[in-house]
Amino acid sequence: MKLLSPRQVVVRIAIIISLAEFLIMLVLGVLPHEAGAYADAILDVVMLALLSTPLIYFWVVRPFVKDRDEALSQINQLAHLDPLTHLANRRLILKHLQKCIASNLRHQIYGALLLLDLDEFKQINDAYGHDVGDALLIELTRRIQAVTRAEDVVGRLGGDEFVVILNHLDTNESGAREKATQIATKLIELVSEPYQQSEKQMRVGASVGIRLLEPETINPEKAISEADMTMYRAKQAGKGRVEIFEK
């Protein structure tokens, strides 16, 4: 996609006006009329506007506006999506998390923030290269999306850290804990299944920290930080585990 340059816009408008004026002069020269110079000038202007305006709109204005809107859409996507996995990046994660917190408060219901970090991923990168590591992350993205609901948000904080925002889990804290733990456990199981890349079979594990989102105001950055801290506690406890943040 390439926007029309100012030069292209000017050239297209000049071509349209020139051709329209040429046609008008031919018509006025062929058709018999006895109007004066003033009347001819008015007729010329009216006919020029009628002929050139639609052409300028369809050949200049419309494609320019369409290309501009597509460019703005791409810029917006780049600003909010992870370039490798096309998941929400940190900026968009924070926006979704803020909405989730507000919705939990309004409906008096629990949600959860899951922070997943791969175990032994660095060894994959070191042994097989970053291209294989990137392919593994893309496959991991597909697996995470397969186990989450449509209303949930999956994002990538960077590296091998992923986030899942679970909306509207349960009105009861114990029910929300159980559901969040079940989803986190399923994620670990899916992540741990073998990966086939370039005739190589690889395995990685995952540790998950859960930060329940109570029906109260919570700072999104703090929620992520507490989920991250809980995830590292899961790693220290032996990896491949789920831990829930306790106040």
CA distance 147 to 8: 50
Q: Given this model, what pLDDT does residue 58 score? A: 87
Same domain, 60 and 120: no
Same domain, 115 and 173: yes
pLDDT at position 177 over 60: yes
The verdict on residue 39 lying in a domain is yes
Q: Given this model, what pLDDT does residue 55 score? A: 87
Same domain, 52 and 108: no
The helix (run of H) or strand (run of E) holding residue 162 is strand 161-170
Q: Given this model, what pLDDT does residue 38 score? A: 72
More confident residue, 203 or 41: 203
Same domain, 24 and 143: no
The verdict on residue 197 lying in a domain is yes
**Residue 175, domain CATH:** 3.30.70.270
CA distance 56 to 75: 27
Counted domains in the chain: 2
- Residue 20's domain comprises 6-80
Same domain, 103 and 51: no
- Residue 134: active-site member: no
Q: Three-state secondary structure along 91-110?
A: HHHHHHHHHHHHHHHHHCCE
Same domain, 75 and 98: no
Structure tokens at 128: 């097989």
The helix (run of H) or strand (run of E) holding residue 119 is strand 110-119
pLDDT digits (tens, 9 = 90+) for 217-245: 889 999 999 999 999 999 998 888 999 99
Q: Which of 15-29, 87-101, 208-222 comes out lowest in average pLDDT?
A: 15-29
Q: Which residue among 80, 100, 119 closes a domain?
A: 80
DSSP code for 148: S
For residue 106, report the phi and psi dihedrals to the nearest 5 degrees.
-70, -40
Percent of the chain whose pLDDT exceeds 70? 92
Percent of the chain whose pLDDT exceeds 90? 48
DSSP code for 61: I
Same domain, 107 and 163: yes
The verdict on residue 31 lying in a domain is yes
Q: Which residue among 29, 55, 80 closes a domain?
A: 80
Q: Which of 50-54, 66-70, 158-162, 191-195 comes out lowest in average pLDDT?
A: 66-70
CA distance 59 to 54: 8
Give residue 43's identity as a one-letter amino acid code.
L
Q: Which residue among 62, 80, 98 closes a domain?
A: 80
- Strands of 110-119's sheet in order across: 153-158, 161-170, 110-119, 205-213, 242-244
The verdict on residue 85 lying in a domain is no
Structure tokens at 205: 């594990």
pLDDT at position 1 over 60: no
The band of 33, judged by pLDDT with boundaries at 50, 70 and 90, is low
Helices (H), the chain: 6-30, 37-56, 62-80, 90-107, 121-128, 130-147, 173-192, 220-236
The verdict on residue 1 lying in a domain is no
Nearest to 111 by CA among 156, 158, 148, 161: 148
CA distance 243 to 234: 6
Q: Is the pTM value of this prediction over 0.75?
A: no
Structure tokens at 86: 């096309």
The catalytic position among 82, 119, 152, 160 is 160
Same domain, 66 and 169: no
The band of 6, judged by pLDDT with boundaries at 50, 70 and 90, is confident
CA distance 236 to 40: 89
